[in-house]
Amino acid sequence: MKRWVYVAGVATAALLPLGAIASPSPSPGLETMLAAPPSSDYVEADSTAPGVIEGSLDADQYIATGNPANASAIKATLQRDGFIGGFGRTWIQRTTQHVLVEGAVAFSGGDGAKRWLAASELADKADPNYSHPLTVNGIDAYYGAQSTVAASNSYIDAFAFVKGNDFFFVITVSKTDDQGAFASSQTTAQYIVAPEDSIPLSQWPQATSASLSYTVGGFAIPVLLGALILGVVLFVVGRARRRPQVPAQGVQLSADGRFWWDGQAWRDLAQAIPATAQRSADGQYWWDGRTWRPVTPPS
């Protein structure tokens, strides 16, 4: 989505729309609906870092994050669509620095969630950073989009879908075009984890005309989502720039990368890390001469 491009949270912008008027509380809670990353190599992002999507967001918070000129019109659109609230999380993969953003946004009924999905798709595919659609099997109401941000040389793969009355998004950000398959598989995992609905069908409002909401949303979403996605991209770029410069020489490793030469004998990396190896500024990684490895205490 355009916003995907601006985020890495797609996701995030969608989140923000969630907080509008007093409505039934989602059950289960939105914080329980997000799929976990596929491995322990992913760590939660710092919630205080600019551009990171972490925790609950109501409509005002979301709109303030995007800093749009037409905040009142956007809030009115969210209210008409039945926005209740949103929740998002951001993870960083330690070995690759890839970013994963997921979000769940609750609406009072399925109609509002689908209107938001339709407007989001139009906005994303109209964005100048949009590259091409992405597909996933087994989900009916969805869309996928890849965007590229030339200024930061970043690729954003994003999916959004509706299940019941809830809108979900899964966004990945990478410096290389290598996340398409992962974004698709993680979206499938998110769809499986998501409940059939968080507001019982019997409590959904009666369907109403979507024309006004759809039109306003179509123009408002790009502003909000774009700001969010841009924040994520800038966060990724900032992390990359803070990483230490790679030294000219590293530790001498065996061909299989399991042992290092201490000057007299080969030593098992599972038992000891070279004391002379360069560490990252945060002390969580060390340079083996070819790549950064996570620092793990000898077992």
For residues 273 and 295, the answer to whether their CB atoms sit within 8 Å is yes
Q: What is the DSSP pairing of strand 259-261 with strand 266-268?
A: antiparallel
Task: Give the burial class of 271: count Cβ atoms within 10 A of its Cβ; 0-12 exposed, 13-18 middle, 19 or more buried.
Answer: exposed
Q: To which H or E segment does residue 13 belong?
A: helix 11-15
80-103 confidence digits (pLDDT tens): 889 999 998 999 998 888 899 998
For residues 121 and 30, the answer to whether their CB atoms sit within 8 Å is no
Residue type, 253: L
**Closest by alpha carbon to 225, among 27, 78, 22, 112?**
78
Q: Is the pLDDT of residue 72 over 50?
A: yes
Beta bridge partners of 145: 133, 158
Instruction: Decide which of 210 and 277 is more confident.
Output: 277
Beta bridge partners of 156: 147, 173
Domains and CATH numbers, the chain: 2-239 (3.40.1000), 247-299 (no CATH)
Can you give the pLDDT at residue 245? 41
The predicted model gives 58-78 an average pLDDT of: 70
CA distance 7 to 168: 15
Can you give the pLDDT at residue 6? 37
Provide the pLDDT confidence category of residue 166 given band limits of 50, 70 and 90.
very high
CA distance 138 to 91: 25
Can you give the pLDDT at residue 227? 44
Q: What integer best gives the mean pLDDT of the chain? A: 75
CA distance 234 to 121: 23
Residue with tokens 């890495």: 8
Beta bridge partners of 101: 90, 171
For residues 239 and 97, the answer to whether their CB atoms sit within 8 Å is yes
The predicted model gives 130-138 an average pLDDT of: 93
